Amino acid sequence: MNFSYPSRLFEEAVNEFSSLPGIGKKTALRLVLHLLRQDKALIEKFGATVSRLASEIRYCRICMNMCNDDICPICADTRRDHSTICVVETVKDVMIIENTQQYRGVYHVLGGIISPMDGLGPADLHIASLEERVKKGNIKEVILALSATMEGDTTNYYIYRKLSPGKSVFSTLARGVSIGDELEYTDEITLGRSIVNRIPFEMK
Amino acid sequence: MNFSYPSRLFEEAVNEFSSLPGIGKKTALRLVLHLLRQDKALIEKFGATVSRLASEIRYCRICMNMCNDDICPICADTRRDHSTICVVETVKDVMIIENTQQYRGVYHVLGGIISPMDGLGPADLHIASLEERVKKGNIKEVILALSATMEGDTTNYYIYRKLSPGKSVFSTLARGVSIGDELEYTDEITLGRSIVNRIPFEMK
């Protein structure tokens, strides 16, 4: 849909918003019109916050997690278990796992997974720095928490082959029936694996 | 859903985006992560464009349409018919009507419609300036292009009562069956009105 924009700047703003994923021209138009109804100070704050993302967001030099400093708060936290590394694809995965409050180790963000279809090979990921961390020793366990897809499995296998001659134990996330799910609606492969990898029953 | 944000600035950016209509925390998170994957120059441009909205967007002093100058391009265009004013609710309506390329007159943006439920009375709208324009004379026709709702009808009636002692003709948009619609799916009220206000048949 083409609009006759009343102002070039307005059109530019609509284009900026519609460049975001899942936001079309019509939604972008609505967002910009909404912004324009706000106080000037609020609009400026929005713009300034976005601009600051470019200059202030940095990545932890140990685990590649997003942060404001040289080292992220998780790597800097001495109360966490630095001998367990959870390998994830993205910064978002760190947030999701942190959100469960069940993990007290540290992370390593790969920045993606091996996916020849997307032109992503091992060299495009932060695998070398993971290797270095593991080689330095003192890493008891490496948890491979990648997607349960073919690409995830390929990446798991690649990392395992690359790092396994060391002393670390390798593990992956448990696969099985989701909590709250009925068996009827669980896919066959997951169900099959959850039988093979059944766990001792516990009264809680 | 609560996230453990890796950075305060990142959280602020997510909050800014989720303050927009129709954008929740999860979508905002996705948008900010998408932005962070872009070049720094692109992120800064996004931020700067939003900031400029606050300082550079102005409203035409004649019709209240959005513009960069004192007077909008439509009011400044001498080839347009300045004796016909189309009264609309918002800047977006101007864009939508301009988009049809069927109207060559000028506009007057009310900034809303009379809606006691939302606490919007006649004094909150740009009705006084419309009155002034019409009183100055030379206005042959006032087209009331407001929503086909009770609030729109109330506002139409209010404006008509306020301005009708002058020489201008008043009109509203035609109501009827949408082009491409089947009668079966047209609501009764619209269908009823479209029979009462039937128009001469024309071969095209």
Q: How confident is the model at residue B125 (pLDDT cuts 50, 70, 90)?
A: very high
Q: Are residues A52 and A128 located together in one domain of the fold? A: no
Q: Is residue A162 part of a domain?
A: yes
pLDDT above 80: residue B72? yes
Q: Are residues A83 and A151 located together in one domain of the fold? A: yes
* Three-point CA angle A176, A177, A178, nearest 5°: 110
Q: Is residue B51 classed exposed, middle or buried when 0-12, 13-18 and 19+ CB atoms within 10 A define those classes?
A: buried
Q: Are residues B50 and B90 located together in one domain of the fold? A: no
Q: What is the pLDDT of residue A165?
A: 75
Is residue A47 within 8 A of residue B53, CB to CB? The reply is yes
Mean pLDDT of all residues in B47-73: 91
CA dihedral sign of residues B25, B30, B31, B37: positive
Of B6, B27, B96, which is closest to A67 when you measure between CB atoms? B6
Q: Is residue B203 part of a domain?
A: no
pLDDT above 60: residue A1? no
Query: Lowest mean pLDDT: which of A10-24, B46-60, B126-140, B185-199?
Result: B185-199
Mean pLDDT of chain A: 88
Q: How confident is the model at residue A204 (pLDDT cuts 50, 70, 90)?
A: low
Q: Are residues A90 and A159 located together in one domain of the fold? A: yes
User: Phi then psi for A106, rounded to 5 degrees?
Assistant: -110, 180
Q: Are residues A74 and A31 located together in one domain of the fold? A: no
Give the C-alpha separation, A63 to A66, whole Å: 9
pLDDT above 60: residue B25? yes
Domain that holds residue A34: 8-56
Is residue A84 within 8 A of residue A140, CB to CB? The reply is yes
pLDDT above 70: residue B91? yes
Chain B partners of A98 at a C-beta cutoff of 8 Å?
A: 3-4
Q: Are residues A113 and A167 located together in one domain of the fold? A: yes
Q: Are residues A43 and A74 located together in one domain of the fold? A: no
Tens of pLDDT, residue by residue over A78-113, are 999 999 999 999 998 998 888 888 899 999 999 999
Q: CB-based contact (8 Å) between B2 and chain A?
A: yes
Q: CB-based contact (8 Å) between A99 and chain B?
A: yes
* Three-point CA angle A10, B124, B108, nearest 5°: 50
Q: Are residues A85 and A147 located together in one domain of the fold? A: yes
Give the C-alpha separation, B198 to B192, whole Å: 10
Q: Are residues B164 and B86 located together in one domain of the fold? A: yes
Q: Is residue B71 part of a domain?
A: yes
Tell me whether residues A33 and B6 touch, CB distance under 8 A: no
Of B3, B36, B98, which is closest to A57 when you measure between CB atoms? B36
pLDDT above 90: residue B175? no
β partners of residue B66: B59
Tell me whether residues A34 and B20 touch, CB distance under 8 A: yes
Mean pLDDT of all residues in B64-73: 90
pLDDT above 90: residue B178? no
Q: What is the CATH number of the domain that holds A86?
A: 3.40.1360.10
Q: Is residue B187 part of a domain?
A: no
Q: CB-based contact (8 Å) between B70 and chain A?
A: no
Q: How confident is the model at residue B198 (pLDDT cuts 50, 70, 90)?
A: confident
pLDDT above 60: residue B115? yes
Using alpha carbons, list the distances in angstroms from residue A28 to A21, A22, A141, B134, B197.
11, 10, 46, 35, 37
pLDDT above 60: residue B76? yes
Q: Is residue A119 part of a domain?
A: yes
pLDDT above 70: residue B2? no
Tens of pLDDT, residue by residue over A136-189, are 878 999 999 988 888 988 999 999 998 877 788 888 888 887 877 787 778 888
Tell me whether residues B95 and A36 touch, CB distance under 8 A: no
Q: What is the pLDDT of residue B194?
A: 79
Q: What is the pLDDT of residue B133?
A: 92
Q: What is the pLDDT of residue B188?
A: 82
Q: Is residue B197 part of a domain?
A: no
Between these two residues, B194 and B112, which has the higher pLDDT value?
A: B112
Give the C-alpha separation, B105 to B97, whole Å: 11
Q: How confident is the model at residue A3 (pLDDT cuts 50, 70, 90)?
A: low
Chain A partners of B12 at a C-beta cutoff of 8 Å?
A: 49
Mean pLDDT of chain B: 88
Q: Are residues B42 and B95 located together in one domain of the fold? A: no
Interface of A with B in 25-64 (CB under 8 A): 27, 29-36, 40-41, 43-57
Tell me whether residues A73 and B6 touch, CB distance under 8 A: yes
Q: CB-based contact (8 Å) between B170 and chain A?
A: no
Is residue A155 within 8 A of residue A146, CB to CB? The reply is yes
Exposure string over B169-204, b if 16+ CB within 10 A, otherwise e: eeebeeebbeeeeeeeeeeeeeeeebeeeeeeeeee
Q: What is the pLDDT of residue B186?
A: 80
Q: Choose one of B40, B56, B72: the last residue of a domain.
A: B56
Q: Is residue A177 part of a domain?
A: no
**Count of domains forming chain A:** 2
Q: What is the pLDDT of residue A2?
A: 59
Q: Is residue A178 part of a domain?
A: no
3-state SS class at B86? strand
Q: What is the CATH number of the domain that holds A18?
A: 1.10.8.420
Q: Are residues A113 and A51 located together in one domain of the fold? A: no
Q: Are residues A20 and A103 located together in one domain of the fold? A: no
Q: How confident is the model at residue A203 (pLDDT cuts 50, 70, 90)?
A: low
Of B32, B43, B68, which is closest to A7 when you measure between CB atoms? B68
Is residue A66 within 8 A of residue A72, CB to CB? The reply is yes
